[in-house]
Chains A and B, each alone.
Chain A
Amino acid sequence: MALVEIHNLRVRFETDEATIYAVNGIDLMVEPGQSIGIVGESGSGKSVSVTSIPRLLPRTARVEGSVYFNGKDMMRATASELQAIRGHQIGMIFQNPHAYLNPTRTIGKQLMEPLLFHHLAGVKRARAMGMEMLDRVGIVNPKARFDNYPFEFSGGMLQRVLIAMALITGPKLVIADEPTTALDVTVQAQILRLLKEMQRELGMSMIFVTHDLAVASQVSDVIYVMYGGIVVERLPAKQLIRVHRHPYLSGLLASLPRVDEPVGRLPFIPGLPVNTRQPLSGCPFYARCQWHLDQCQSAPPLTLVERDHEAACWLADERRVANGQPS
């Protein structure tokens, strides 16, 4: 049984001015111990999709579809059932650690919270576990750092604290929502290595959200590429460069700068991201796609093009297109 099963998830935000169609029907599966990466540009609905697993979206969000975690129907779970799962079985790591920590509470007090909220340990035991966890995520001298405040830490150190906080209860799933985006490159590499190590060590599943293809392929087994609130391609991370099918993913890969080639003008995907204020009709990439057909006015389904590899493109069929270009 899969740990996470999402089927036809749709999320929209209703405000007075407009309705935002953030997620337009996605399917997603995470096996125990598996690490999946969700890649997409801003506004593609990747964060919203994963935040709906522990049902942490704001009240304005209208969520439809089914979300199962560890066999539990999250859409029908009561507030106290959700509370029992959050922070205990699902750990979350956020993008900007400065914003996601209470500035007037010590690191240690916040670090102990998951244990105390779920009555997994008393204060004394929680304190010891917290220090041990800080040590494991590479905080030097955890004893002294325990009673420091967030503003006394650097961004990279805080992200380590956030990781410690998410993992302290030994969750079955950790959701990392762009955990390295706010960090500089060297720190980013350290954090990624740490996350990957901890994930293997504790045997957890991980959902890693990022806009960075390289990062996603480093830490995950399977990659979901999102565009316009749908999954346009799902493929094993190892095959990312070799066999991608969707023109959007091809465009993304082509626009990565390479250090081993002469410096020239970077290719980019022309056009603007999808307008999420209208319900999605047809292929979301239609307007920006150079290969688009009349057929693309109706939404292409996510179809299996080879083993473990799906793409949502009318041209994705192996006979007609390879690496996102018609043959």
Chain B
Amino acid sequence: MTQDMLLTMVSGVPWTIALTAVALLIGVVLGIPLCAMRMSKLVVLRMVANTLILTLRAIPPIVWLFFIFFGLDTGYVSLNPFQAAAIGLGLITAANMAEIYRGAMSAIHSGQSEASMALGLSTYHRFFDVLGPQLFRVALPSAASYAIGLLKDSAIASTIGVHEIAFEASHVSQRTFRGLDVYAVAGLLYILLSLPIAWASRWADLHLRARVAR
């Protein structure tokens, strides 16, 4: 393994991080309205949300990426590989985050909502002052494991030409006819990236636990 090969592979790291971060951000944000629709009193909204979530989760990510990158690029929209991958993974993440939020919501005692209503708090304040912060704490461990999964799944963006770790590894491997050490290094890079997420999640979990323990 030459320094040159190593550097090429490391150059994929920022792309992996950027893709994971953008997709996660899209998912974390869009997951909120999706979850709200999923739990709405209106049947129509629930059905729309259910259909969206089911569709996003049932179709393999790689098919979504191909669909967005090759399918939508019809002259009207022009997406570069990174944008297509970020949108695709972001939407899939939104569907999964919506389900994670929903699970967390059911873990919060109904008394929290009732106390907020009895105090006259509006729906907005009930969510942002009372339920949201608790939801964050409850959803954090599942969201963190999802983030680690997403980091690894971002490798499929290599198939549409995003220059992330897996893309660079396969590039180096094809150029040098070496597989074992190249892909081992790629694997190591993914491990190194996952660890901080796991640590941060553990730390935040311990730090916040005291404030939600009932």
Query: Is the pairing of A and B real?
Result: no
